[in-house]
Structure 1
Amino acid sequence: MRIFNTMAAHAIPLVPRSLIRKISRRYIAGETLCDARTRIHALHAAGFRTTVDVLGETASSSEQAESMARDYLNLVQAVGAQNEPPELSIKLTALGLHLDEDACMARVSVILREAASHGISACIDMEDTSCTQKTLDAFLNLEADGYPIGIALQAYLTRTNNDIVPLQARKSRMRICKGIYAEAKEHLVDGASMDRAAINSHFVRHVSTAIQAGSFVGIATHDAQLIDALTNWLQREQIDRSRFEFQMLLGVCEPLRDALLAQGFNVRVYVPYGYDWYGYSTRRIKENPRIAGYILSAMIRRDRTR
């Protein structure tokens, strides 16, 4: 079955957009801000925390970057009145990092300043390795300016072993994930390109040392084995639950997500919305071949019934 799922993942570009759109409804709140607010409200009512992301990849023009900035400002205005507003997830490339770094940082500062005035925090997302150093530098400057922000780190990158050290020294807020971008092998920890489980020991080490250093850590994974190892460590070390949270994507591993919440852990759900549903959905499907297998099976069944 694993081979079938992997083959299906490679065939995703051949899948009709209409079928991808149907599947995407599980992983995306919708296309509009109203859709996002509805899903966020439901998650908060169920006891979850949320992070909201405006879908969009690298801006190709200053106009596109400005449009994204306006989308974030509209989002802040819409959710700022809530008792417990969601966190923002911000991709610097969507705000023009590759076009004009100074203009990008000006846009980010405007967004963060407006967000802070509404009691809203943010997390600077980490992208591929071409952006890693620029993203870290930007975060350091924004953190020094006093904005309530965190930074995402990817455990599958070898450089994270060094990048995390100064962050721990400052007790910076971190989101630690495995990493999803297709990177050259020289950037990856031993075996990570061949076996995702090879990342686990690095992930556990980054989470545990960051928490012990005094940082608040978002533990971003859907790996049940990894979560078991970490919950055992957290309970054994009697780590206060206010010092960390588990983070999961909307629509992914919901039984595990619900079980963690039922055990009294803080759980944050990543809620994307926007018109770039196709790009986001295909990335999610490729990351989880089981979903691709389900889609291909559905297509085969549909053809047989015609």
Structure 2
Amino acid sequence: MRIFNTMAAHAIPLVPRSLIRKISRRYIAGETLCDARTRIHALHAAGFRTTVDVLGETASSSDQAEAMTRDYLNLIQAFGAQDETTELSIKLTALGLHIDEDACMTRVSVILGAAASHGMTACIDMEDTGCTQKTLDAFLKLEADGYPVGIALQAYLTRTNDDIVSLQARGSRMRICKGIYAEANEHLVDGASRDRAAINSHFIRHVSSAIQAGSFVGIATHDAQLIDLLSNWLQCERIDRSRFEFQMLLGVCEPLRDALLAQGFNVRVYVPYGHDWYGYSTRRIKENPRIAGYILAAMIHSNRAR
């Protein structure tokens, strides 16, 4: 069955967009800000924290970067008007990192300033290794300027072993995830290219050392075994639950997510919205071959029924 699912994941480009759109409703709040507010309000009412992301590809022009900035400012204004706080997820490339770094930093500063005025925080997302150093440099400047901002780190990168040291010394707020980009083996920890489970020991070490150093840590994973190991460690060490939270994507592993909340852990749900539903949905499906298997099986069954 695993082989079938993997083959199905590779066949996703052949799946009709209409079917992907139907599947996307599980992972995306919708195309509009109103859709996002409705989903986030429901999650808050259920006891979850949220992070909101405006979907969009890397900006290819200053106009695109400015449009993304306006989208974030509108988002902040809408939530601020309702006195409902959420965290922002920000990709620097969507704000023009590859076009003009200074202009990008100006846009991010404007967004973070507006967010702070409404009591909102933000997390600078980590992208592929071509952006890693620039993203870290930008974060360090933004943090030094006093903005309420955190940074995402990817446990599958070898360089994270060094990058996290200075962040821990500063007490920086971190979101630690496994990492999803297709990177060359030279950038990855041993075994990561062949087996995602090989990342777990690195993930655990980064989370535990960061918490022990005094940083607030977002534990971003859907790996049940990894969550079990970490939750046991957190309870054995009697780590106060205000010093960390579990983080999951909208529509992914919801029973596990709900179980963590029921156990009294803080749980944050990442809520994307926007018009780039196709690109985001296909990435999520490829990351979870089981879903691709369900889709392909449904297509085969449908064709046989005709």
Calculate the TM-score normalised by the size of structure 2.
0.99
CA distance in 2, matches of 1:264, 1:83: 25
CA distance in 2, matches of 1:300, 1:145: 56
TM superposition outliers: structure 1 runs of 4+ over 4 Å:
none
User: What is the total number of aligned residue pairs between the two structures?
Assistant: 306
The equivalent of 1:103 in structure 2 is 103
The equivalent of 1:68 in structure 2 is 68
Higher mean Cα deviation, 225-234 or 80-89? 80-89
CA distance in 2, matches of 1:82, 1:284: 31
CA distance in 2, matches of 1:219, 1:264: 15
The equivalent of 1:223 in structure 2 is 223
The alpha-carbon deviation at position 81 of structure 1 amounts to 3.3
The equivalent of 1:177 in structure 2 is 177
The equivalent of 2:232 in structure 1 is 232
Q: Which amino acid letter does the alignment assign opposite residue 224 of structure 1? A: A
The equivalent of 2:305 in structure 1 is 305
The equivalent of 1:197 in structure 2 is 197
CA distance in 2, matches of 1:162, 1:191: 19
Mapping of 1:198-213 within 5 angstroms? 198-213=198-213
The alpha-carbon deviation at position 84 of structure 1 amounts to 4.3
The one-character-per-residue Cα deviations of 1:120-173 (angstroms, maximum 9, x if unpaired) are 100000000000000000000000000000000000000000000000001000
Whether 1:13 and 2:1 are equivalent positions in the alignment is: no
3-state SS in 2 of match to 1:63: helix
CA distance in 2, matches of 1:210, 1:155: 13
Mapping of 1:280-291 within 5 angstroms? 280-291=280-291
The equivalent of 2:246 in structure 1 is 246
Whether 1:88 and 2:88 are equivalent positions in the alignment is: yes
- In structure 2, the gaps of 5 or more residues are none
The alpha-carbon deviation at position 83 of structure 1 amounts to 4.3
The alpha-carbon deviation at position 262 of structure 1 amounts to 0.1
3-state SS in 1 of match to 2:245: strand
CA distance in 1, matches of 2:116, 2:67: 20
CA distance in 2, matches of 1:177, 1:301: 36
Whether 1:123 and 2:123 are equivalent positions in the alignment is: yes
CA distance in 1, matches of 2:84, 2:273: 19
Mapping of 1:146-161 within 5 angstroms? 146-161=146-161
Calculate the TM-score normalised by the size of structure 1.
0.99
CA distance in 1, matches of 2:81, 2:187: 42
3-state SS in 2 of match to 1:123: strand
3-state SS in 1 of match to 2:52: strand
The alpha-carbon deviation at position 82 of structure 1 amounts to 4.0
Task: Report the aligned-residue RMSD.
Answer: 0.6
CA distance in 2, matches of 1:2, 1:33: 37
The equivalent of 2:134 in structure 1 is 134
- In structure 1, the gaps of 5 or more residues are none
Structure 1 84/236 Cα, relative in aligned 2: closer, same or farther at 3 Å?
farther
The equivalent of 2:292 in structure 1 is 292
CA distance in 1, matches of 2:270, 2:54: 11
The one-character-per-residue Cα deviations of 1:53-95 (angstroms, maximum 9, x if unpaired) are 0001100111111000000000000112344411000000000
3-state SS in 2 of match to 1:80: helix
3-state SS in 2 of match to 1:120: coil
The equivalent of 1:51 in structure 2 is 51
CA distance in 2, matches of 1:226, 1:283: 22
CA distance in 2, matches of 1:292, 1:64: 32
3-state SS in 2 of match to 1:43: helix
3-state SS in 2 of match to 1:219: strand
CA distance in 2, matches of 1:82, 1:235: 36
3-state SS in 1 of match to 2:44: helix
3-state SS in 2 of match to 1:193: coil
The one-character-per-residue Cα deviations of 1:21-78 (angstroms, maximum 9, x if unpaired) are 0000000000000000000000000000000000011001111110000000000001
Q: Which amino acid letter does the alignment assign opposite residue 110 of structure 1? A: V
The equivalent of 1:166 in structure 2 is 166
The one-character-per-residue Cα deviations of 1:237-257 (angstroms, maximum 9, x if unpaired) are 000000000000000000000
3-state SS in 1 of match to 2:114: helix
